[in-house]
């Protein structure tokens, strides 16, 4: 079962998640947790258009997950690592990678995480992606690959 923090952060950011993943998580939680919270069952039977909202509410109110917290920053760093892996494997285009970085940066900046360490590598990736457009590739923006690789190395080191 996927980490609820990671799934919640993806859903909150609007990055690479599906309602089916939320259903799987609610189902796994409900089957593995004796006396599971009623909101989890509500989430399983809810219409698709409100499942994400119910999941985000569940994770925040029942599991204590806050988006801008040490746990939230750790989830963002895990997402950045996944994005870096996918970009370097060429399964995520440079423009899509940069759009994701910009989305993460905007969300974190809007909530100004006072007293928390900024997500590792986010500023560097945002700067590297500055002015990115749909024509960018690793071939015509060679600086990007080495920056992403450096950030990936730092994130892997921090995670271990």
* H helix intervals, 14-93: 19-32, 38-45, 48-61, 70-88
- Name the pLDDT band for 160 (thresholds 50, 70, 90): confident
Given phi > 0 = left and psi -120 to 50 = alpha, else beta, which region is 121?
left
* C-alpha to C-alpha distance for 83 and 78, rounded to whole angstroms: 9
Per-residue confidence (pLDDT) for residue 111, from 0 to 100: 72
pLDDT tens-digit profile of 122-159?
999 999 999 999 999 999 999 999 999 999 999 999 88
* C-alpha to C-alpha distance for 156 and 122, rounded to whole angstroms: 14
Answer whether 70's CB lies under 8 Å from 3's CB: no
112, pLDDT greater than 70:
no
Q: Give the chain's radius of gyration (CA, Å).
A: 17
* C-alpha to C-alpha distance for 42 and 26, rounded to whole angstroms: 9
pLDDT tens-digit profile of 50-109?
999 999 999 999 999 998 888 999 999 999 999 999 999 999 999 999 999 999 999 888
């Amino acid at each position: 079962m996927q980490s609820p923090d990671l799934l919640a952060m993806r859903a909150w950011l609007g990055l690479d998640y599906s309602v089916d993943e939320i259903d799987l998580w609610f189902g796994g939680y409900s089957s593995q947790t004796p006396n599971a919270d009623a909101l989890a069952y509500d989430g399983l039977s809810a219409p698709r258009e409100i499942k994400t909202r119910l999941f985000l509410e569940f994770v925040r109110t029942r599991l204590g997950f806050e988006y801008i917290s040490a746990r939230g920053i750790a989830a963002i760093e895990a997402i950045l690592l996944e994005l870096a892996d996918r970009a370097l494997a060429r399964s995520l285009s440079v423009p899509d990678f940069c759009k994701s970085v910009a989305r993460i940066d905007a969300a974190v900046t809007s909530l100004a995480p006072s007293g928390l360490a900024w997500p590792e590598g986010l500023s560097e990736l945002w700067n590297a992606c500055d002015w990115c457009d749909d024509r960018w590739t690793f071939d015509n923006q060679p600086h990007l690959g080495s920056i992403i690789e450096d950030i990936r190395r730092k994130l892997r080191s921090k995670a271990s």
